[in-house]
Structure 1
Amino acid sequence: MFSIYILTYNEEVEIAGCIESVSSLSDDIIVVDSYSSDRTVEIAQQYDVRVVQHVFESHGRQRTWMLQEVPTQHEWVYLLEADERMTPELFAECLQAQESSEYIGYYVAERVMFMGRWIRHCTQYPRYQMRLFRKDKVWFTDYGHTEREVFDGATEFLKETYPHYTSGKGFSRWLEKHNRYSTDEAKETLAQLEKGDVNWQKLFFGKSEVERRRALKDLSLRLPFRPLTRFFYMYFLLGGFLDGRAGLTWCILQLFYEYFITLKVWELRHGQTRPI
């Protein structure tokens, strides 16, 4: 068996569904809340879970604090976001995978659920995240608006996937959230541009999809007309047009997100302190 962490902040719409996807599977579920101002904690406490709260500083620091300070019943843990779900098939594969002494962690691919459907093509599927791992062998650092894992040992990839519901709280929430994300991404983008060149070896000959995808992102930061380039890449090259209206909407939103980032990079470079 393994313990499950669920990270939350103002997730009253999603938290019940997330907990219910694991409540009949795991005997140790911990909700780690960043002092939500809505009913997230109240709803979570209606279930047989532990709820702890910690002031949010960043994604990487929140996860590292959680792993170091919040005890679990099991050596292995699984990370869930409130807008993600565990499936019985994935849970069964996780149980089997943790029995291996060869690996200390496993990546799991997400299925982005948007506008009522899985948009497979324009979301770079399979897009892997570190989800199942030994608690004493993995920690996290900050990268842009999100985090990157650091680990001590060999890792592998699971076959089963998890659904990620990205717009359950509406488009207004998506836009508000990604406006905040773009500020962190702009800082990271500027740092990457000043740091060095693209790792071409990892881009073409990376050992895993994770290495190749991260090298591709470093390349994308340096491309001209980056927002339009990303739209063309996602909609035409990745086949977003095959994902119907949801795919088109997703690609347009990503175009605007990239444009937010480029505007904020310009602000940072020119010392602007107010929005353009």
Structure 2
Amino acid sequence: MLSVYILTYNEELDIAACIESAMLSDDIIVVDSCSSDRTVERAKNYPVRVVQHAFESHGKQRTWMLESIAPKYEWVYILEADERMTPELFAECLQAMNNPDYIGYYVAERVMFMNRWIRYSTQYPRYQLRLFRHGKVWFDDYGHTEREVCDGATSFLKETYPHYTCSKGLTRWIEKHNRYSTDEAKETLYQLEHGNVNWLNLFFGKSEVEKRRALKDLSLRLPARPLLRFLYMYFILGGCLDGRAGTAWCTLQAFYEYLILLKVWEMKHMPKPDSDIEATIDENSAQMTAPEKLSI
């Protein structure tokens, strides 16, 4: 058997279906980032553990979770509230755990958007490390998300999981990606100044994960990124074959890329407030008497 961690923040619409899909395991741990909706209330309707911890970043939240909340079993699976476990995937996880050669496994997502699997324009199969031996994996921040650090060899599972990326509506998607674009802009500036492109992995990477990460590092350095991303997703990857949902998906991704570029420009060129001057003004203001403030 394996333990399942479920990460949540304001997921009252998704949490029930997510937990029910994971109840193939008898050890489910909901790690909530102090939601303001009924996520915790709904989660407690099920036989699960619920722990709340203030969110700092995706990497730190995962690392805190793994270090602070002991699972019942040696192997764990990380699930997010808008994702689902399937019986086929769960069965393959149990089988894979018996292989002593690997400490973790990557699993591919099936992005569901506008009631359709976006098969082509999402770079399917796009893998995430989800199943691993507890104590052998931790996470670092990268852009708006995280990257895993593994103490041992990893492999890939054949089964996939559905990811309902827009299950809470387009407004929530836009709000979320507005936040994500800020972190991505910061990571873009850092990579342009300190990073490089791993050309060997780009063409001869041992896995899709290595190739995709090298491709992202390259994309940060290309001109007209929003337009190139749309053309790449729609024509080269075949997003045009995903129908109306594919057109909408590619357009949203190009918009997201453009938002990142705008924030990169803003971070580089917009003047920052002088904290020293502000501190001096606040200090002087605090020393003034009420009549003096009124006279001003």
Verify same fold: TM over 0.5. yes
Q: Which has the larger radius of gyration?
A: 2
User: What runs of 5+ residues in structure 2 fail to find an aligned partner?
Assistant: 274-296
Q: Name the SS of the counterpart of 2:22 in structure 1.
A: coil
Say if 1:123 and 1:180 are closer, same or farther in 2 by CA, change over 3 A.
Answer: same
Q: Which residue of 2 aligns with 1:255?
A: 254
CA displacement, residues 30-61 of structure 1 (integer Å, 9 cap, x when unaligned): 00000000000000000010000001000000
After TM superposition, where is structure 1 displaced by more than 2 Å over at least 4 residues in a row? 271-274
Displacement of 1:198: 1.2
Q: In structure 1, how many angstroms separate the alpha carbons of the residues matched to 2:39 and 2:245?
A: 28
Matches for 1:95-244 after TM superposition, within 5 Å? 95-244=94-243
Q: What is the total number of aligned residue pairs between the two structures? A: 273
Shift of 1:95: 0.2
Q: Write the distance in 2 (CA, Å) between the matches of 1:215 and 1:120.
A: 22
Q: 1:197 offset after TM fit, Å?
A: 2.8
Q: Which residue of structure 1 lines up, in the alignment, with residue 36 of structure 2?
A: 37
Task: Describe the SS at the equivalent of 1:56.
Answer: coil
Give the whole-Å Cα distance in 2 for the aligned partners of 1:39 and 1:197.
Answer: 44
Tell me: CA distance 1:141–1:196, structure 2 relative to 1, closer, same or farther (3 Å). Answer: closer
Q: Which structure shows the bigger proportion of residues in helix conformation?
A: 2
Q: 2:20 corresponds to which residue?
A: 20
Instruction: Tell me the CA shift for residue 22 of structure 1.
Output: 1.3
Deviation at 1:273, TM superposition (A): 4.9
1:5 corresponds to 2:32: no
Deviation string, structure 1 residues 7-40 (Cα, Å, up to 9, x no partner) = 00000000000001011x1010000000000000
Gaps of 5+ in 1: none
Q: How many angstroms apart in 1 are the aligned matches of 2:188 and 2:210? A: 18
1:186-220 deviation per Cα after TM superposition (whole angstroms, max 9, x unaligned):
00001001114311011001111100000000000
Task: Note the alpha carbon deviations across 1:74-108, whole angstroms, 9 max, x for none.
Answer: 01000000000000000000000011111000000
The 1:92/1:233 distance shift into structure 2, 3 A limit, reads same
Letter in 1 for 2:11: E
Structure 1 residue 157, shift from structure 2 partner: 0.2
Q: Percent identity?
A: 77
Superposed displacement of residue 272, structure 1: 4.2
* Alpha-carbon distance in 1 for matches of 2:124, 2:84: 17
Paired amino acid for 1:56: F
1:248 counterpart SS class:
helix
Structure 2 CA distance for aligned equivalents of residues 127 and 93 of structure 1:
18
* One-letter code aligned to 1:19: I
Write the distance in 1 (CA, Å) between the matches of 2:96 and 2:90.
Answer: 10
Q: What residue identity is the alignment partner of 1:84?
A: E
When normalised by structure 2's length, the TM-score is 0.91
Which residue identity is paired with 1:121? Answer: Y
SS at match of 1:26: coil
Match of 1:82 in 2: 81
Q: In structure 2, do the counterparts of structure 1 residues 69 and 247 end up closer, same or farther at CA, with 3 Å as the change threshold? A: same
SS at match of 1:136: coil
Task: Give the distance between the partners of 1:210 and 1:174, measured in 2 at CA.
Answer: 25
Q: Distance in 1 between matches of 2:222 and 2:238?
A: 20
After TM superposition, give the deviation of residue 269 of structure 1 in Å: 1.3
- What's 2:51 paired with? 52
CA contact 1:267–1:273 (8 Å) conserved in 2: no
- Relative to structure 1, is the Cα distance of residues 273 and 12 closer, same or farther in structure 2, using a 3 angstrom cutoff? farther
* Alpha-carbon distance in structure 1 between the residues aligned to 2:224 and 2:85: 38
Report the 3-state secondary structure (helix = DSSP H, G, I; strand = E; otherwise coil) of the residue aligned with 1:21: helix
2 CA distance for matches of 1:128 and 1:198? 20
- TM-score normalised by the chain length of structure 1: 0.98
